[in-house]
Structure 1
Amino acid sequence: MGRLVYTAITSLDGYVADAEGGFDWAMPSEQVHAAVNAQERQVGTMLLGRRMYEVLAAWEDMPVDGAPEVIREYAEIWRETDKVVTSSTLERVRTARTRLVRSFDAEAVRELVVASPTDVSIGGPTLAAHALRAGLVDEYRQYVSPVVVGGGIPALPPGIRLDFELIDERRFANGVVYSGYRARRPW
């Protein structure tokens, strides 16, 4: 059985994008990228919201010859991973190994995770909010960038209470701090 994992690169004040939608401040260093790649290698299926999919779809045909190893490696991970995009507005997907669903179905996600021999990731704060509210997220992985952006798109939804326990942490040379948390279940 896999785990449902939500990973976010955030600002110190908890945003994945600033008020203008920018996230250039979150570009990972090679060291951070290598850490993310190591985690993503454990994922067999990515669940993505529309905006996250539109950003990441560039990896499908991005020329990576001559790029740093971490870039070539992530392009390979992207291309080899199954993807499910949840969107009511996207007309079609343009990447291989990708299917489109129109709405978030908590039971379908639960069944996918239980049946998966590998981890399943959920990407994008809007889609992740549905899974967090449904109590489906097993791990939350946060890479905190040393910047305050003052507003924008929050990594975590307002108005919910979730209890987690710290299971991993790491500091990077560029000031990014990683924290990995496991959901505490009442059962």
Structure 2
Amino acid sequence: MQVWAEDDWLQGEPDVLHEYADIWRDRDKIVYSTTMAAPTLARTRLERTLDLDAVRALKESTDAGICVGGPTLAAALMRARLVDELTMYIAPVVVGAGAPALPGVSLDLTLLEERRLGDGFLYVRYAIRNP
């Protein structure tokens, strides 16, 4: 997510990217990593292990939305039933083998929203029905 901290590459990009960068910069962030030495981004805290109880407490303590990035972290939170919605941006680009979008997760989804964003890009938002 380091890319959102820099303005250089945003020159000439659509307003929506500038808006997202501003929103992202204005949020507190937690990075779960066993290899990162120290966070280099403002408003960023480093955690070495995923504490599901801490995430649950964070979720229960705020009305603000919590966003999760990365398939491994997202899958762990989905298995713990800590995710209410799934938002995906689907791009017509193939880059290597990569990681599965939702590794080892089976979900009961309800489509809430879908939008075409141009150049073949799609935005989809699902509610996750947790039993």
The TM-score by the shorter chain falls in which range? 0.7 to 0.9
Match for residue 118 of structure 2 among 153, 164, 173: 173
- Classify the secondary structure of the residue corresponding to 1:73: helix
User: For residues 157 and 65 of structure 1, what CA distance do their matches in structure 2 show?
Assistant: 32
Deviation, structure 1 residue 145: 2.0
Match for residue 139 of structure 1 among 81, 85, 109: 85
User: 2:8: which partner in 1?
Assistant: 63
Q: Is there any run of 5+ residues in structure 2 with no aligned partner, and where?
A: none
Q: TM-score, normalised by structure 2?
A: 0.86
User: For residues 112 and 118 of structure 2, what CA distance do their matches in structure 1 show?
Assistant: 21
Q: Is there any run of 5+ residues in structure 1 with no aligned partner, and where?
A: 1-55
Percentage identity across paired residues of the two chains:
45
Q: Contact between 1:64 and 1:71, CA under 8 Å: does it hold in 2?
A: no
- Classify the secondary structure of the residue corresponding to 1:161: coil
Q: Deviations over 1:48-68 (max 9, x none)?
A: xxxxxxxx1232243368543
User: For residues 128 and 70 of structure 1, what CA distance do their matches in structure 2 show?
Assistant: 24
Q: 1:183 aligned to 2:125? A: no
- Classify the secondary structure of the residue corresponding to 2:50: coil
Relative distance call for 1:166 and 1:62 in structure 2 (3 A) is same
Q: TM-score, normalised by structure 1?
A: 0.62
Bigger proportion of residues as strand: 1
Q: Relative CO higher for 1 or 2, CA cutoff 8 Å, sep ≥ 6?
A: 1
- Classify the secondary structure of the residue corresponding to 1:103: coil
